[in-house]
Amino acid sequence: MTPATVTPTVPAPTPGGAPADAAPGTGTRVLPPLRIGPLTIDTPVVLAPMAGVTNAAFRRLCRESGAGLYVAEMVTSRALVERGEESMRIISHEPDEKPRSVQVYGVDPATVAAAVRLIASEDRADHVDLNFGCPVPKVTRRGGGAVLPWKRDLFRSIISAAVDAASPYGVPVTVKMRKGIDDDHLTYLEAGLVAQEVGVAAVALHARTAADYYSGTADWESIARLKEAVTDIPVLGNGDIWSAEDALAMVAQTGCDGVVVGRGCQGRPWLFADLAAAFAGSDERRRPGLGEVTAVVRRHAELMIEHFGEESKALREMRKHMAWYLKGYVVGGELRAKLGLVSTLTELDERLGALDLDQPYPGEAAEGQRGRAGSPKRPTLPEGWLASRELSEDFRRALHEAELSVSGG
Ligand SMILES: Cc1cc2nc3c(=O)[nH]c(=O)nc-3n(C[C@H](O)[C@H](O)[C@H](O)COP(=O)(O)O)c2cc1C
């Protein structure tokens, strides 16, 4: 991993965000380093937090390929304050991981503050991201996740409580959000300005509403609008970056200060090599043949065993990664299905060994969209949620239950 260092000679950014002489493929870097409070991220690329994916094992593979900031899986503030075993594992980092980045989800300002204080005062991370992006019905039904910023008093209290808890320790707090509830109830511009006002160090926008879920195409235009509105802190763009070229296109189209990449690197941690090259102005791209891919799968499995300390749990967790790793390669239905059912490292070795390891990179078939997709869903909201932008006592009580049922964004 390239450490987070200051690079002294960086072209001055234009008002739109990109340096005047940025020219992809010519060896000129595309953006200046990303500054998140006291942290300097040399390559302005962030691995999106993904529950069930971005644990220490997967982050290591991404870090080894590229450069950037790699956010851990989300943890709920309440579980963290209770020091649950799984929560403590989620926020743990390998000794060489710098900066250490975690994401907290919470609905109650005091609990979020306590969780952030635990992280910062015990030196468990260098960066805390707050999650306001979850579109899952069981969360939005109670007013949590992507529909929470609609209650502007609550949103402001949560983020300022987090900033107040973290700032004595010099730990920057960022916000990750969606555009709003649906196209008629957008919150991102106002939320971005509130975040800037209370001392949040950067904002990231997944350019979809809760109603969009993961459907359609991310609305990069909204990232451009957020960048125009929020001028004092970095604005990061998120949504539908499947390749380094997409990342460059997002920067060019929106003027964002950095990109957040999620599904595009599922089964493709080497995308971070492409991203590092692209942002450094190089055309170099990784195009692994199947032999190379299986070597990464094997290593991922080993790292997962180290992470979970248990072979069966680790291999069970590996199953979902198989389809992502093998997308576009000729594998055969039966073997593909068997790889999705591995239980031991020996089984994994046998099944990987049965593949045609000389198979070259398949091109387009391995590219484009991967991972979660689906159709729009009208968000389930608490009764009367839209009637007011302020939080009533009844909603406050229901929200606590929202935190108990959350699992990812
Ligand atoms: C499996 C999965 C788990 C996710 N978990 C989280 C999470 O814990 N926190 C969060 O803020 N977003 C989460 N997200 C959303 C991503 O961080 C990201 O915003 C979204 O996938 C859009 O980016 P992409 O188009 O690059 O994938 C998750 C997404 C997926 C696919």
CB under 8 A, 24+ apart: contacts of 381-390: 381/140, 381/141, 381/143, 381/147, 381/181, 382/141, 382/142, 382/143, 385/143, 385/147, 385/150, 386/150, 386/181, 386/185, 389/150, 389/151, 389/152, 389/153, 390/151, 390/152, 390/153
For the CA of 53, the nearest atom of ligand 1: 1
Taking the centre of ligand 1 as the mean of its atom positions, its distance from the CA of residue 120, in whole angstroms, is 24
| Among 47, 206, 242, 268, residue to substitute to test ligand 1 (most atoms within 8 Å of Cβ) | 206
Is pLDDT above 80 for 190? yes
The binding-site residues of ligand 1, defined as CB within 6 angstroms of any ligand atom, are: 48-53, 73-74, 103, 131, 133, 176, 206, 238-241, 261-264, 371-372, 408-409
Tell me, yes or no, if 265 is annotated catalytic.
Answer: no
The owner of tokens 């799984």 is 86
Is pLDDT above 80 for 14? no
What is residue 10's predicted lDDT score, i.e. its pLDDT? 29
What are the residues whose beta carbons fall under 8 Å from the beta carbon of 36, sequence distance 6 or more?
Answer: 69, 127, 172, 174, 201, 202, 234
Question: pLDDT for 92-141, tens place per residue?
Answer: 999 999 999 999 999 999 999 999 999 999 999 999 999 999 999 888 88
Residue 198, both tokens: 């209370």
Q: Is the pLDDT higher at 404 or at 204? A: 204
What is residue 141's predicted lDDT score, i.e. its pLDDT? 86
Rounded mean pLDDT of 188-209? Answer: 98
Residue whose CA is closest, atom 4 of ligand 1? 50
Q: Is the pLDDT higher at 2 or at 319? A: 319
> pLDDT class for 25, splitting at 50, 70, 90?
low
Of 197, 256, 194, 186, the closest CA to residue 228 belongs to 256
What is residue 139's predicted lDDT score, i.e. its pLDDT? 84
Q: Residue 346 phi/psi, 5° resolution? A: -65, -45
How many residues are there in the chain? Answer: 409
Residue 258 sits at the vertex; the CA angle it makes with 124 and 11, to the nearest 5 degrees, is 115
* CA dist., res. 88 & res. 76, Å (int): 11
Residue 3, both tokens: 């450490």
Rounded mean pLDDT of 303-319? Answer: 97
* CA dist., res. 176 & res. 278, Å (int): 24
For the CA of 371, the nearest atom of ligand 1: 31
Mean pLDDT of the chain: 91
What is residue 24's predicted lDDT score, i.e. its pLDDT? 56
What is residue 142's predicted lDDT score, i.e. its pLDDT? 82
Angle between helices 152-166 and 188-198 (to 10 degrees): 30
Query: Residue type at 243?
Result: S
Residue 239, both tokens: 């949504």
Of 51, 56, 53, 54, the closest CA to residue 74 belongs to 51
Rounded mean pLDDT of 235-246? Answer: 98
Rounded mean pLDDT of 181-189? Answer: 97
Rounded mean pLDDT of 399-407? Answer: 64
Residue whose CA is closest, atom 22 of ligand 1? 239
Question: pLDDT for 336-372, tens place per residue?
Answer: 999 999 999 999 999 999 999 999 999 999 999 999 8
How many distinct helices (H) and strands (E) make up the chain?
15, 12
